[in-house]
Amino acid sequence: MSLTWLHISDFHIRAGDPYDRDVVLHALVQSVAGYAKRGRAPDLIFATGDIANSGKVDEYELAGQFFDDLLRAANLNKTRLFVIPGNHDVDRDFGVGLQRTLESREQADTYFRPDHPKPHLTQKMRAFLDWHNRYFDGIRIAPHNSTCGPAERVDINGHRLGIVPINSALFCQGDDDNDKLWIGRRCLDAALAELRALETELSIALIHHPLEWLSEIEGENIQAALRASVHILLRGHLHKAQIDSVASAEGELLRCAAGAAYQTRKWPNRALYATFSNGSLTVHPIRYEDSPLPTWTTDPSVFPHHDKHERSFPVPRLTPSHAAPAPPASASRVSPPPRFRSNIPSRGNRPFVGREDLIARLATVLGDPGEGEKVVVLHGEPGVGKSELAREYARRHRGNYGGGAFWVDASTDSIAIHLAGIGKTILDLDFPSGLQLEEQGQRTFLSVGPEPVLLIYDNVVSFEKTQQWLPLSGMPCHVLITTLANTEDAAWPWIRVDPLSRAQSLDLVKELTDAGFAARYGETITAHAGGLPVQIVPETTTLAYERRRGRSPSPGSGLAREAGDSFDRAYQRLDQPPRLLLHAAAILNPQRIPAAELARHLRDGIAWSDADVTRALDACLDLHLLDGTPDPRMHQLFAGFLRKRVPSADDQTALSLIRAAQKARFVELAEALAANPADPETAATLLS
């Protein structure tokens, strides 16, 4: 028999006006009941974190009521519900004064000892632990001395499931959690030993964060252990529905991200049904629709080209007795590739404004893909729209690429992994067991022909590491590279993507809404966004939503989440010197940062030489975080991002010295101006 579960995540339940949340989650409860009547009844429900919004006691009382309603709709009891915490289940007030992260394996071995106090768990997550253990009283207990477990066996419909909860949120404290999170190898090792002793058929791990967010000190070890011992990993956090398979010498892991069940009606709300049968997992995505009536229905955006918009994935490493029988040799299946192959998402009804000249220029530079290989680099500051420009080119010219058009995330030097995933899930390649990921990626890359193909390598960090993934001579392959790096000396044609002009920004606001909205709010939004589509689009749609709800929008009041994420990805690529320079520059006038004054602040504060200043300044200019010489400019939104971002502990120490030097310099300039009010140079320097 088959086994079905519902995977939900990221609810952000809070006190206050519940109307918006209740509309979405009540619709989810009703839809689960409706799906059950139509034959898609879940046998289990997994909730992978961010149950509450800020880890407060009253938020969990509301969460308990929601889960009660959901279980009734699914006709299940609490033994069939598994809940883990996420970063929003941390009460950050209790994190003040605690160590931000661990710095070594030795620290981790001590901290995660079972008898060692864990204040990051027992203090910061006390409300979650207390609620969880009351709600599941007599069923299971979330441990106070470990991040993992207890491993539990569940027997359903003839299947033996092993389930391992993993708490990745102990060291969550801010927007800079990436690479600071820990699970603890000794905690995971103990839980996986429990799991193996259960003698289960299918093993599932539950975690909130992507594994890539773990500290690099233990991240590879954690991932290797899970690939060797677990078949399926269910997670949340990034608010996107995504399924992929990751393999290495240690094993293979099928990873499923559910999206967010509730992030207000302004943003997509998603969940996943999954059915396990005959060694494979069939995933059916659902999403919330607000009109004409609130409901949850099939989400076609996850698998747009598959029947019923659902997709089956082989579960890695199942023994033959658990897998579907192989067909006889004479009946071997031969599946021709689909007529058009792609993972480029649809733009939907979102407008594309102000880039027609760049689309035309790309078409001219790339030319006919049948004539051989071409590479073009798109570069520009964060949030300017490089990635969307590349995707739009792929949408408009898909007829030129009979072999397909594929987007590849190149931000973490993981091109091989993403190409291997494309080979398995889209090109239907059959890789030998144990084949290394690098080799899987190479085989995929060489299999995209002989028909013309377009590859988009998005957010490239290292051109040197990208070299092996560029087309061979005569290969009918075009590659678009997007990057922050200034590539004027690169070996390929490059096109700079600038912010939208004022007129283009106003057109985008109008296309997203209407002429009346643009006339009333367009100028304010345009001035605030500074030509960055990553800010214009979410700010406009949010304000339009507020107006439709009868509220009074306040344009220009904050940084959109998408813009913040874009800035943060660029910020995290920096070494300490350029970070310090940017923080020092952020309190100056972003439209004209006096380079000589900035250099003086850094020399006086932390004893930098002129060469130190030049190297750090060049690094910022190369990534388009600063622009222009001799006195560079900084985008006003990026300056605001830097002012709010909490630097690391090491950066804070150095930055406090810089701030002291800046304060002393400002006092010196003020005193000089008071003594000579007619000195325009001193006045201009002070005002900068």
- HEC string for 578-623: HHHHHHHHHCCCCCCCCHHHHHHHHHHHHCCCHHHHHHHHHHHHHC
Cβ of 468: how many Cβ atoms within 10 Å? Answer: 12
300-314 average pLDDT score: 89
Instruction: Say what the pLDDT of residue 675 is.
Output: 84
Helix segments in 8-102, DSSP class H = 19-37, 57-74
Q: Tell me the C-alpha distance between 71 and 81, whole Å.
A: 8
The Cα-based distances of 250 to 215, 253, 436 in angstroms read 20, 10, 10
Choose among 154, 220, 121: nearest CA to 3. 154
Q: What is the SS3 assignment for 349-378? A: CCCCCCCHHHHHHHHHHHCCHHHCCEEEEE
C-alpha span between 640 and 97 (Å, rounded): 26
Is the alpha carbon torsion for 79, 198, 185, 279 positive or negative?
negative
Query: Greater confidence, 537 or 688?
Result: 537
- Contact between 86 and 165 under an 8 Å Cβ cutoff? The reply is no
Give the Cα separation of 439 and 416 in Å (integer): 8
Distance of alpha carbon 326 from alpha carbon 332, whole angstroms:
9
Confidence of residue 283 (pLDDT cuts 50, 70, 90): very high
Does the pLDDT value for residue 406 go beyond 60? yes
Query: Which of 184-193, 322-331, 555-564 has the weakest average pLDDT?
Result: 322-331
Rg (CA), the chain: 27
When pLDDT is cut at 50, 70 and 90, the band that residue 332 belongs to is: very low
Does residue 534 or residue 298 have the better pLDDT?
298
- Give the start-end residues of each E strand in 217-269: 232-235, 241-248, 251-258
Pairing state between β 270-277 and 280-289: antiparallel
Question: Is the pLDDT at 578 greater than 90, yes or no?
Answer: yes
Pick the residue with more confidence: 487 or 670? 670
8 A C-beta contact, residue 590 and residue 639: yes
Is a pLDDT exceeding 60 seen at residue 319? no
Predicted local distance difference test score (pLDDT) of residue 562: 79
pTM: 0.54
Average pLDDT over the chain, rounded to an integer: 88
| pLDDT exceeds cutoff 50 at 480 | yes
Percent of the chain clearing pLDDT 90 (strictly above): 56
Residue 6 pLDDT > 80, yes or no?
A: yes
- Cα dihedral angle (182, 185, 191, 195), rounded to 10 degrees? 120
Contact 132, 59 (CB under 8 A): no
244 forms beta bridges with: 255
Check whether 247 has a pLDDT greater than 80.
Answer: no
* DSSP label of 336: P
pLDDT, residue 684, reads: 65
Peptide bond into 450 cis (omega under 30): yes
Place of tokens 């007599």: 138
Distances (CA, A) of 371 to 146, 366, 367, 477, 552: 59, 10, 8, 9, 56
- In the block, tokens 């477990």 appear at 149
Q: How far apart are CA 428 and CA 141, in angstroms?
A: 43
The CA angle 457-459-465, to the nearest 5 degrees, is 65
Q: What pLDDT was estimated at residue 376?
A: 94
Q: Are strands 152-156 and 159-165 parallel, antiparallel or unpaired?
A: antiparallel
Among 658, 672, 668, residue whose Cα is nearest residue 603: 658
**Would you tell me how many other CB atoms lie within 10 Å of the CB of residue 348?**
6
> Is 180:120 a contact under the CB 8 Å cutoff?
no
Question: 221: which 2 tokens?
Answer: 């070890």
Q: What is the pLDDT of residues 661-685, one digit of tens each?
A: 999 988 988 888 788 877 767 666 6
Task: For the chain, give percent helix, strand, coil, nearest 5.
Answer: 45, 15, 40
Three-state secondary structure readout of 519-577: HHHHHHHHHHHCCCHHHHHHHHHHHHHHHHCCCCCCCCCCCCHHHHHHHHHHHCCCCHH
In terms of Cα–Cα distance, which of 233, 299, 304, 306 is closest to 260?
299
CA-wise closest residue to 47 among 269, 250, 272: 272
In a 3-state reduction of DSSP, which class is residue 281? strand
Length, in residues, of the chain: 688
Q: Predicted confidence band at 610 (pLDDT cuts at 50, 70, 90)?
A: very high
- Amino acid sitting at position 555: P
Q: Report whether pLDDT(322) > 50.
A: no
State the pLDDT at residue 337: 44
Indicate whether 576 pLDDT > 50. Answer: yes
182: closest CA among 149, 144, 151, 211? Answer: 211
> CA 232, CA 7: separation in Å to the nearest integer?
12
- The model's confidence at residue 611, banded by pLDDT at 50, 70 and 90, is very high
Question: 327 pLDDT band (50/70/90 cuts)?
Answer: very low
The Cα–Cα gap between 253 and 231 comes to 5
> What is the signed CA dihedral for 521, 525, 531, 532, rounded to 10 degrees?
-130
Q: Which two tokens stand for residue 373?
A: 């290989």
Burial of residue 316 (CB within 10 Å: 0-12, 13-18, 19+) is middle
* % of the chain surpassing 70 pLDDT: 93
